[in-house]
Amino acid sequence: MPTYTCSDCNMSLESINCSCGTELVHKTITNDNGDTVQVAECPNSHGKIKSPTCCGIDMNPE
């Protein structure tokens, strides 16, 4: 399971669960501007959220 860690202050976050109880899966997507965005997505197609941020930067899944 991924644990999100802030590379700046080292705060970590346990993995995030969907309302259906399934752990969200980390994905990197590319938006229309060509920017890559880190998201956490429910494998059961319930949608996705942006990865958590800390200190103004995306937290990295490990």
Supply 33's token pair.
């501007």
Whether 7 and 60 have beta carbons less than 8 Å apart is answered as yes
- Choosing from 2, 40, 42, 61, the residue that interacts with Zn ion (CB under 5 A) is 42
**Site pattern 6..25 for Zn ion (x: CB under 5 A):** x-xx-x------x-x-x---
- Choosing from 1, 29, 49, 55, the residue that interacts with Zn ion (CB under 5 A) is 55
Intra-chain end-to-end CA distance of the chain, in Å: 8
Whether 59 and 10 have beta carbons less than 8 Å apart is answered as no
Residues that bind Zn ion (CB under 5 A): 6, 8-9, 11, 18, 20, 22, 42, 44, 46, 54-55
